Every structure is written in structure tokens, then in C-alpha cells.
Chain A
Amino acid sequence: MKTRLLVALLVAFLTAAACTGGDDTDEPTPTSGTGETGGTGEFSLAAAAEPYQGTEIRILDEISDLQPVFYEELVSQFEEETGITVNVEIQGHFDVITNGEADLFSGGGAFDAVMLHMWQLPNSLEAQAVQFIDPYLDDPALRDPSVDFGNFVQPMTDETTLVDGNRAGFLNWSYNQVWIGRKDLMEHPDEQAAFEEEYDYALAAPQTLQEMRDIAEFFTRDEGDTLGDETLSSPVYGFIQEGARLGATWSDAWYNYIKQSGGDLFDESGTPTADRPENVDGLEFWKSMFEFAPPGAAELSLVDIPVILGEGQAVTGIAWSDFFWTVDSDAGSPHAGNFTYAPVPPNADSPDSHQVNAAPSLLVISNASDNKEATYLFLQWMVSQETQDAWLDLVVNQGLGGFDPILQSSIDNPMYSQGPRAELLAAIAGSVAVGHPTPLIQGFPQFQDPMLQRFQEALLGSSAQEALGGLQEDLTAICSADCLLSVG
């Protein structure tokens, strides 16, 4: 307690000193160790990188709508300024997990930095495969004082990157989910009139999960029905979300529904509590949404959902936001330009439990890297205000790639609410504000597997009670108490 107080005072002093230098932050300062906040002093990337000129570093990252343009357009600036060559390999979701872990755990050192989904972090820490960045944050020769953890989006940043007071890396992207709907249908006068007559409130982006279900039910139509101006030649479904045996089905059910019903799969002490009554309510709600989904929903993974929405087979859905940078662009889908977005809404029966499924990732420095300092400089440059602003500019003003904010100042940037993607960016900001990643759990894939299995059993006929009862047995068999790592 005393130590934390002293640290807080020191941080406050440094912050005040920074304010007199004209570089201030209004955000609360984190209570973690020194080197976390911005400070005074000039920082020159070129000067910091001088000892590492000629170094070649290799980065493994995940392909998405966000990354390729960034690496193509902006990384050369870093290379020119520092003389450090950056080789980036971007791979698909499942490959980056398998190959990244294989390289980290084996100590192969093929990559200097590897992208980890935050649920991968505990295994990587146990394997001693990750170089914490605290030594570099404390090194004035390397630290850019303008990179301030008080400016990162919270609670996502600390819940992802801070373990027992130590910083595992920088947040890479604030991967999040949003609600998506077809704007042309939501704004169609006939549809609006019919909806209001049936449900007694105006058709608009849902403010609660219950409204989301009403809208899903309303837009589920059979062959021969009318939808907008069209008579349907095949059924259209009101809602779509992941249901497959793989991907992120487990976190959808857990975060968007179970936790939003006031439940959770673990209690605060880390003991499995899968069969709580609130969890049953949440899982039943998740299950009920599939009544409005296409018949094949149980085999749809995260990459299928944007396709289904883009093709118009479903009118609304919950999906990972980054897909829609492409789906909602020219030639991205038949309905490009016709999507509307909103944060995943709260549960009206438990409004204080509002949270959205988030899967942030971080780029960690491999413990086997021979170029840790050069790698740190690159990762720090990636998250700097200047780079993030340049990235935002690419997206908003040049219409290239996509953007998931990691800095609060990016969201506060006037540029953020401009341009043709303003609505998507606003929905992302709303989701990020209440976005929580999975808790850090040792050996998490072993927990993930029974979650996927049991949730899918609930989808295919078991009751939520039975499924969660089975899940409680499965989780307890893996870990009966103290299953969560300490974050913060």
C-alpha cells in the first residue's frame, strides 16, 4: 500500500512536470511501476536506434483488414528513420496462433516479436517465452516519454498487458465486436411502420439485448415474404453470430450473454462457477438468438459471419468489427455502404453488467530474440501517437485498410468522427469502452475446448442447465480453484 502511494506521488509529480512542458494528459495515471507514464524531454527515434542500425527484425502478426495497409504504407518510415529493417510476416488467425506459439515455446527465435491473443499470454509466460518490456520502459535511452500508458484504452490495455505489475507488451489492436444491421432495411419506411406497430417502439439500432432480439425476430422472413421493396425468393434470417466448434463462439456466449446477465464462469477467487442461475439465463438468451439464424449457424465461424451479412442472408448480427473495413467497402460485398453499426448492447435485465466481447492482442518480444532493443523501438513506434494518427489518417482520409483504436487520444481525435466510416468507428469506440478480454487463465486452451463443446451442445438440443452443469464438471476437473492469473 505504502509503495503504491509513493509511486502514485512520484507519477503525479512527473505528470505535473510534464504539464509545464506543454505535453499533458488528463487521463488517470496507472499505479504500475515507473516508466509507465509520459514525461518531459526530447526523444529522438533516430538517436535511440543508432546503436541498432543495420539490424534486421522479424515480426509475426495476424492478417486482418487492419494490418496489411499499415505495414505496407507506414513501416518504411520507421526503417528510414532508424536504419532497422523490419520484415513482417502476416498469417491467418489459426496459423499465427500455432506458428507463433511453436516459435516462442521452442525458443527458435525465428521471430523477434510475435502477436499473441491475450488468452495465449499465460502459456507464453509459463514457458518463459516472453521478454517483459519494463527494462526498456525504464531505459531513458530507449523510452519515448510521449508513449503514455495512461493514454491507452482501458480497461482493455491493463487487463491484457499488465501481469503482476509487469508489462508484457504493448496493446496491438483492440479487437472488438459490434452489432451490425442493414441500414437500408432499418430505415425503410414500411419496415419501420410495421416494426413500431408490432413492438411499440421505433426501429433503430438496439439499445438492449432484448431489442436486438426483437429486431432479429422481426427481420426473419420466409420465401414469398416481403423485405423492403423485394419479394423474397428464399428465406432471409434476422440474426447471425458464430456457432461453430472453433473460433470465438465460447467468448461470444460468455461475454455478450452470460456476463451481461450478471453471471460468470469463474468467481473473483478464480473458482469455476459455470452452473450459476445467471449463467443459465445468459446461455438461454444466446441460444434463443439462433432461432433467427440460418440453419447452418452451428458450423459458422468468425470468418463466415461477415460473409453471411455481406451477402444479405442475414439482416443483423454480431461480428468482429475489423471484417467490415472490407465487407463495407467498394466491391467488398453486394450491400457495401448499406450497413449500420452500434456497440453490442447491454442486457436490460442487468444494465450494470454491460460489457462487450473483446479479444485484444499484443505484440510480445520473444525471449529468444537477439534484437530485443531494436524490436522494442519498433513496437514503441507502432503505438506512438504520431504513428497512430498517421494510421487513422490512412483509414479516414484515404479510405485504406482499417483501424482499431488502442489510444484514447485516437478516439478523441476529431478525425475519428469524420469520413465515411465514422459510424463504424463510433460503434468500435462504444464497444471498446466496455470491452473486456478473457481473464488470464493458465492453460486456457484446455478451458476453451470444453466451453466450445458444451455451448455447442446447448445449441444443438441440450438445455442450458445441462450444458453448464457439464461445463462446471469439465472446468473443475481442469482447475478447481485459483485458476486466474493476477492482472494489474
Chain B
Amino acid sequence: MSRCVLLRCAAAAAVVAATLVAAACGGDDTPTDVVLVTHDSFAVSKAVEQAFERESGLTLRILQGGDANEVLNRSLLTAGDPQGDVVFGIDDSVLSRAVGGDLLEEYRSPELSTVEPDFANPDPHVTPIDHGEVCLNVDRRWFASRHVPPPKTLADLILDRYRNLLVVENPATSSPGLAFLLATVATYGDPGWQTYWRGLRANGVRVVDGWEEAYTQQFSGASGSPGKRPIVVSYASSPAAEVIFASKPLATAPTAAVEEGCYRQVEYAGVLRGAHNEDGARKLIDFMLSERFQADVPGSMFVYPVRAGVPLPEAFVKHAIVPRDPLQLPAAQVDANRDRWVARWTEIVVR
């Protein structure tokens, strides 16, 4: 019957499937790997990755997905029987959950002594690797062509001349969105920030779920963007990225970061409890603090090194800023209030 013909097709398909899966499975995991669990934004130059593999004799495998918060949640789900050996990308806003979740082994890297004093005394479970500042970015051409000065402070954003110009990320779903909310809390205090956000809402702020949509689709300054809004919440380093990734060499960045009102996020790495290769995990963390990896951090991930005296790439010196006095709230205060602030923010801004 036709069914037999079909089943023969099915059998043939099964053979193909088995062969392909077997081929893909080839090279089973051995203890010569070290597995890094990290977020979508992690990146490293090939040469630097190979240097690590050469020096340590270990193969580096990378599992990435989601933002810092989602990476932490996946790690919490598998705590004690982790997917990898090292987790990277935990930031201040989720640090106390990571430490409280019995997720990490304590480790104090000998390389910590090379770290700038601002970052040198972290919780013993984590090691600082980089820092980035969430700042307002403006489309320079938009403001120049209209002879309007770009905003200089958070307070400017509720002025009438900036009506319907700002796009921000939802703090419930985006880490720069949360950082910007924290910046307003740090500036206006609790509950003063709520009045400020009522002002932003009245002035036509647009809220989107993630950085991708805000920056690449709503912000007019990003190259190739169909966006119409000239002010966005992004990073201090974004203007440098516009220059580095431009298709034709640019003398000046099309965008600029606003130095006032920037919020600092520090990213940490930690050894996962139950790691298959604990020794390799420590080696990887040491390597992430080495001069070589730290010098690669700006060009690969568009954040700044924590190691003292590491030179920045030229595009960063010329086009990006390192905010002098970035805003920051104590991790414990953020952790205790985050959910309540976000819920209140949702009521004020979205509902």
C-alpha cells in the first residue's frame, strides 16, 4: 500500500537524520574544555580567544542567550548542576540575587590587584571584568539642522522643546532601561523620581521593550535606522561604535552621548558551583582580567576595562566619553526596591 512507500521514505529520512545528528555530535565533551555561560552581548576577538586556548591548553566553549537577568535566571535554574563552568555578565542590579542564590563558588583572583580601586573590592563570589555607562544619546545632525541645542541634563527632557523626541527602554524587560530608571532614582530620590517620570510621560516619551528596538528602529541617529526620535537611552560608547562600524570612514560620530545623568553598570564573572572544570574556570577568570583580554573589551563589547592603565582604542578616545561622575546606587538598595520601583514605574508610564 502507499503507506509502505511512505514508510520507506520515512526510513530513508531516518537514516539521513541519524547520520547528520551523529556527525553534529562528533567530538564529545572532555575535561579539556572550559564552558562560559554568558549573555547576548558577550564578544571576544578571535586572536584573544586563541591566546587563552594556547596558554591554558583548554578549549573555550561559549553558551550565550538572553540579557544579564535571563542568564542569571538560567543559572539559578541549574544551580549546582550548571551548564558551564564560568558565568559572565552578572551586573550590580542582579548581584545580590546571584550571591544569595547559592550559585557561585568563592574565588579571589590574583589579578584583582591590578584592578582600579573603584572596583577592587567586590563580593568574594564574583570578579569585576568591565564597566559600562548607560547614557542618553542624541542625533547630532537632527539637532544641528533644526538649530535646537541637544539636551544636557535629565531635567531638560521635560522641557517643551524636547516634546516627543525621547525613546527609552522598558525597565521591566531591558537592562539599559532599568539603568536609566535607576539614574532617575539616584538623581531625584525616592519617591521624587515618580514626579519626574510623570513629566516625561506628559512630554511624550516613547517606551519600547528592548535596546535593539529603541536604538536600531526608533532612534533617528543610528545608521540605517528608520527611526524618527533623536534622543535615546543607550551607552556612553555607542557613538564610538557608530564610527568603528561605519561603512565609510567618518571624521565625527553621527551621535553623541550626554555626560550628565549616566548610570554605571559593573559586570562580573564567577565560578559556577558544581563546575566540571573548576580549575579551568579559575584560569578563565584570571585571563579575563589579563591585560590582553581587558584591552580587547572596548573593541569587542563596547564597555570599559576595569584593569588600571589599559589603553583605549582611538575611536573611544575621540568619540566616546568616560563619564566623570556616573550615578550609582548601592546594590543592596537596588535589590530591595527594584521590583517595587518597576511596578510603580509601569503604573505611571505605561498604564
A and B bound?
A: no
Binding site for B on A (CB under 8 A): none
Task: Give residues in B with beta carbon < 8 Å to A.
Answer: none
